[in-house]
Structure 1
Amino acid sequence: MPTDRIKFLIQLYFDKTIDNSQQSELSEWVKNHASDEELIALLSHAWQANDENIVMPEVASKNILSAVLKSSSSKNQKKDSNKIIPLNKTAPWIKRFVIAASILIVCSIGYFLRKPAASHNAVARNINNTKGNIIKPGGSKATLTLSDGTKIVLDSTGNGLLTKQGGASVIKRANGKLQYLRDQSVTSEVVYNTMSTPVGGMYEVVLPDGSNVWLNSGSSITYPTSFSRNERRVQMTGEAYFEVAHDRTRPFHVSVNNMDVEVLGTHFNINSYDNEPSIKTTLLEGKVKVSKGNATVLIIPGQQAVTAKLSNDLSINKNGVDLDQVVAWKNGKFVFIDDDIKSIMRQIERWYGVSVTYNTNVTNEEFIGVISRSVNITQILGMLEKTGSVKFTIQDRNIIVQ
């Protein structure tokens, strides 16, 4: 590709005016280019064309890095697109470093050049695994608890009609989804069901009003088999993603940890795990009202309500919310952006069903990365080890972080 064309595409990229076809053209050239040095020089030229004395802000640099990383991952599904990069907060985010890092994911330059060349599998095999056991990822697993206390293990139950509850047919679909079909001609008392996922499980349920809910691992949702005429109300623990069916006459309420989320019809995610420092409600579509005690906030798409667990404090994160990262679990990925090792390991604990022990002097570096949730645990730990910032030992189902 002519150099002038490359400069033109790179400038569009920095100006945020690049379209999909141009993005694909640039990405293809980046992936197949032989000279990392020339690539960095061209990127430097594009940035310096704006103002050669400006240091790229840290937020902007991380946004570019994560955007390129996710773009690379989505366009290389059949290739090895899993990457993790350590972010050293003590290092200045000067523009040349950031420009190099933003292409790191595609070209394997910069930081990885300072590490011995090795495949991801080779790195993973070097992890100290005292028992040699393979720890596999989680999957589609859940238990349905009926109104009378009867439990149905969904992952070991056949498809089709499971039972009838309060005038609704409970059906397990072939795609691993649980669905409630309400018979409008039947009037009965309100009864409640609970769907819960174990550590290492996730599941989807279609509620009687047609709303879809995805449960992450170690989570639960309790709901009536028939909603009232005035409102729709559910309770949850852990993490769940909601796509609420629109009904302006019946607001949809989610109760979690003494907090209430009210919507009419919208898409949002709630993370309320006990071992996370706060409850985060992130909105993708529509409008949401979040209330706790006397405090109430309204959020719009792209915003996140952060709720303190030990008080009624509510705040709104208006900037820097990466929606792809928030719902990555639902889409079968881990997406790390500004995550320290303990935050990453909490996600690994929940998905792989392991415990984690930390030795002293664990790194406080933060990481950026995209990894499939379908890989064995040694592969994800191997990717983290490849950064040179952390090491692991596996003892049975306990991970020791060094």
Structure 2
Amino acid sequence: MIPDDRIQLLLELYLQDRASESERRELLDIIDGRPDIDWYALLAPSFREDGADGTFTPEKWQPVLDAILQQEPLEQPAPRIRYLRRTWWAAAAAMLLIAGAATWLFTGRNAGPEPIQAIVTDIPAGGDHAVLRLANGQQITLDSVQGNIVQQGSLQVSNDSGAVSYQGKTAAPEYHTLYTRKGGQYRLRLPDGTLVWLNAASSITFPTYFDGDTRKVSITGEAYFEVAKNAVQPFIVQVNQMHITVLGTHFNINAYNDEPDAKTTLLEGAVRVTAGRYMAVLAPGQQARVAKDRPLTIVDDVNVEDVIAWKNGYTVFENADIATIMRQVARWYDVEVVFEGEMPARRFVGGISRNSSLQDVLRLLEFENVNLKIEGRKIIVKP
């Protein structure tokens, strides 16, 4: 058992940016394996010795502590994919909160080049918001209705707790579209039992039942699929310039128009990705990337936990530039992001719960010396 004074020393070294790489790793390993630690007792001396006002209380610290210690995934993990209770990025997110949000709360210290403006009304995180558009053009805002929302012949469409599901079928296939705006996400069970998680600013168009030799859907934005197995009726996803063909598998597609690449990442099974005259069959852990005017490329050994972190309730970035991070922020918090001047070529590693407010996210970025200015729902990023 590692003594408390050792853990406290590691915390102090980390907060003062004096920890070696081995000491940082030791601290993250402790966070990963010691849910019993009394963080209140260990952190309070550090903040008081650093010039805090002595108002360190469990009540004041609770929101930050919750974000540090509550690392259970929101959804059950896919079969055959191992998830630790706290993955490395969850531990890294915890340390970002300790070093960023906690420091701001108790010392008022600011490491950034320009203090972030106070946000008079904080912007909450996104949530389960979506619209279902039927074949006749009717649009159903799913936030405001629950239970059986469509009854057409034997087709029954139900909406419950952020998920819409289909049972039965219409006399002939009709096409419905489920879409989210910025700040929204939703889940869908297709007529064949396939499960779909839809990220913010995304859509999926699908038939009310699958007939013929294939099961075809089209998407925009980002979606995670757990495809129901059917060896005689392949499942096909059309997105931008890509066709993804599967029999039964788990995979993620990120194909936002404002991203430089469209990416298909395989977690389980096998998929065939076709883009123009290029084709590749992915194995688990591989990612297919398609960019404008460039051929399809394959990346091996992708960290799939990072790729689907959004589905499990986290925003995670690994070796990401500030533009990539702010695109995620804009979509999830429904804000406008403007860049002034040329951004330095810096890379970031970290993450935070998707339940965190915009203020929490921006404070962490500010702690990492990102120069931000707030004007209403506009975020201005400066060099």
Q: TM-score, normalised by structure 1?
A: 0.72
State the Cα distance separating 1:79 from its structure 2 match: 4.2
8 Å contact from structure 2 (residues 194, 226) kept in 1: yes
Equivalent residue for 1:379? 360
1:30 and 1:299 mapped to 2: Cα distance? 47
Q: Which residue of 2 aligns with 1:35?
A: 9
Give the percent of matched residue pairs that are identical in Structure 1 and Structure 2. Answer: 38
Deviations 1:349-384 (A, max 9, x none): 000001111122433211111201111111101011
TM-score (norm 2): 0.75
Alpha-carbon spacing, 1:303–1:359, altered in 2? closer, same or farther (3 Å): same
Q: List gaps (5 residues or longer) in structure 2.
A: 38-63, 70-88
Task: Work out the CA distance in 2 between the residues paired with 1:140 and 1:314.
Answer: 33
Are 2:158 and 1:171 equivalent residues in the alignment?
A: yes
Q: Does residue 299 in structure 1 map to residue 273 in structure 2?
A: no
1:49-88 CA-partner distances (Å, limit 9, x unpaired): xxxxxxxxxxxx9xx79x9699489999954539xxxxxx
Match of 1:52 in 2: none
Cα distance in 2, alignment partners of residues 73 and 373 from structure 1: 23
Residue pair 1:303, 1:318 contacting (<8 A) in 2 also = yes
Structure 1 unaligned runs (5+)? 2-27, 45-60, 83-101
Aligned to 1:5: none
Q: Report the alpha carbon displacement of residue 392 of structure 1 after superposing the two structures with TM.
A: 1.1
The amino acid that maps onto 1:188 is A
Contact 2:318–2:348 under 8 Å retained in 1: yes
What residue is the counterpart of 2:327 in the other structure?
346
Q: Distance in 1 between matches of 2:150 and 2:5?
A: 53
Q: Which residue type is aligned with residue 134 of structure 1?
A: D
**C-alpha distance in 1 between matches for 2:20 and 2:129:** 50
Aligned to 1:390: 370
Match of 1:281 among 259, 264, 278: 264
Separation in 1 of the partners of 2:123 and 2:94? 30
Cα deviation code 1:236-258 (max 9, x no counterpart): 00000000001111100000113
**Number of residues paired by the alignment?**
325
| Correspondence for 1:92 | none
* Whole-angstrom distance in 2 between the partners of 1:70 and 1:263: 39
Q: Deviations over 1:300-328 (max 9, x none)?
A: 111100112345x1111013x11111111
Whole-angstrom distance in 1 between the partners of 2:266 and 2:159:
29
Which whole-Å deviations, capped at 9, do the CAs of 1:330-361 have from their partners, x for residues lacking one? 11111111011110000000000011111224
Matched, 1:240 2:228: no
2: CA distance, partners of 1:206 / 1:285: 19
User: Are residues 106 and 304 of structure 1, via their aligned partners in 2, closer, same or farther at CA, if it must alter by over 3 Å?
Assistant: closer
The residue aligned with 1:271 is 254
User: Does 2:197 correspond to 1:214?
Assistant: yes
Q: Distance in 2 between matches of 1:233 and 1:165?
A: 22
Q: 1:368 and 2:360 equivalent?
A: no
Matched, 1:315 2:297: yes
CA offsets, 1:249-295, max 9 Å, x none?
A: 11000001131000011110000000000100000111010001221
Q: What is the root-mean-square deviation of aligned Cα atoms in Å?
A: 3.6
In 1, Cα distance between equivalents of 2:356 and 2:21:
36
Whichever residue aligns with residue 394 of structure 1, its letter is I
